[in-house]
Each structure stands twice: as C-alpha cells, then as structure tokens.
Amino acid sequence: MNKPLDYIFPDPPAGLDPARLDAERVPQHVAVIMDGNGRWAKKRALNRLRGHKAGIEAVRETIRCASDVGVRYLTIYSFSTENWKRPQDEVVGLMDLFAKTMLAEVDGLDEENVRVRTIGDLSPLPAETRQAFEDAWQQTRDNTGMTLVVAVNYGARQELVQAVRSCVGQALQAQAEGRDPLSAIDEQAIARSLYTADIPDPDLVIRTSGEMRISNFLLWQIAYSEFYCTDVLWPDFNRYDFLRALLDFQGRDRRFGAVK
C-alpha cells in the first residue's frame, strides 16, 4: 500500500471502517464493468454522452484509489465490440471523449507511475483516438506502478476466436515439423494467445448499476474471479464504493475448486 489508509479514505461514511482493509490481501488485479452512465443521464434529463462525461470522474477516482491501496492491475471496460450498435452520435462522442480524456490524463498518470495499455482491436477506431492510446502507452510503458488496462473495442468471444486461430497456426507448424499437432494446443497455449497474455487473471470483478451479467468481458480470464455487484450507477461510484468492494472481497473464502 503506497499511502496511509486515513489519507486514502479521509472521510468514510458512518459504518465503513477503512482500518478493516488488510494491505496484505488487496487483490492483485481488479476488473471493472462500468455500467449506468446512460441511466444516470436519463434520471437528470440529460443526453447519454453527458452521462459518459460524468463517469470520467469515477474513472479518475477509481484509478487513484486502486493505485494507492496497492492494486497492481486495474482493467476498465470502456467500449465493447457490441457498443458500435449504439446511436452514431453517441459512438462518435465516445471516441472523441476517449481521445480527449487520455490526452488530458496521461501526464498525471505518468507522474503517479501508472502504466497505460489497451486490450482489444483498435484498428476500427478513429485515428485520433488510436493515437491517443498509443501515445499514452509510449509515454508510460516503462513505469513500474499499477498497470491501467483499458479494454476498448474489446469482446471476449472475438478474443477467443483470435486465440484459437493462433493455436491452429501453432498446431500446423508442429505438424509440419513432424510433431503431434494437438500437443501444441493446451490451456497455456490459449492463455498465451490472448490480449492479456502477460497479465494475471482478475481476482475481483466489479459491476455497477445493479446488473448481473458478464457482457462478453474476459470470459476466459474470470473463470475463478470473485464478483461484486452494486446498485450504484457508475458516475456516482467513488473511493468508498471501491473500498466496500475490496472489503467484500477480503471476506471471501477463495478455494479455486478445492476443499479446505
């Protein structure tokens, strides 16, 4: 943990004690399905893009808090492969928001020793958006603090299809070399072919807005993740909601299929 708990959580709500957080049992990797921006905006008679803009502060606070408590990897689900089906003005606005936000935040993330990377297929994104993510990676790639993983144009089924194709190629190569082609395909080979090949699987998955589904997110990687779902809409999610998720996680008995 990088900073004292009373600094990270200076004004906790009644009944929430940050001192309960065990610094030795903070999850190494937290993944977040950020849901509820549209509903947040609708409740205020605003357009959906205003909700996405409001969610930026929640992203900012979650990154800062996760880094401060010692999370090593934070993955945020920012845009799925299915999100292209949304109204065009919303999609265009999101792409512009991604670029502007990354440009505005990268210096601060760099100062905090955070490394920024992406998972997903960036090729369909507008050039400005792709460049913003690439510049963030280049600027922060040598940082040694928390890794912020932005899942953009990401879909787990598509990721698995890509991994299978890679494994088939490896199997064909093995066959050409006179080896058993099936020996080239196992769990490790698939894991090495994923976007997250060099990232540990999530320990904890947080989903906001009360929904109880995975939404094509990290299907392979979350096989043994703990789930925490909250009714809080994403723009209202703050460091104390994040603390609640961490405390809930630390109350779980993780057996990974074994009996203890």
Residues taking part in catalysis: 35, 83
The 8-class DSSP code of residue 253 comes to: -
The amino acid at 16: L
Which helix (H) or strand (E) is 207 found in, with range?
A: strand 204-207
Mapped onto helix, strand or coil, the DSSP state of residue 204 is strand
Other residues' Cβ atoms within 10 Å of the Cβ of residue 137:
16
Alpha carbon separation from 114 to 66, 136, 147 (Å, rounded): 11, 10, 6
| Contact (CB, 8 A) for 8 and 65 | yes
The C-alpha atoms of residue 25 and residue 40 are separated, in whole angstroms, by 33
The crossing angle, in degrees rounded to 10, of helices 239-250 and 48-69 is 50
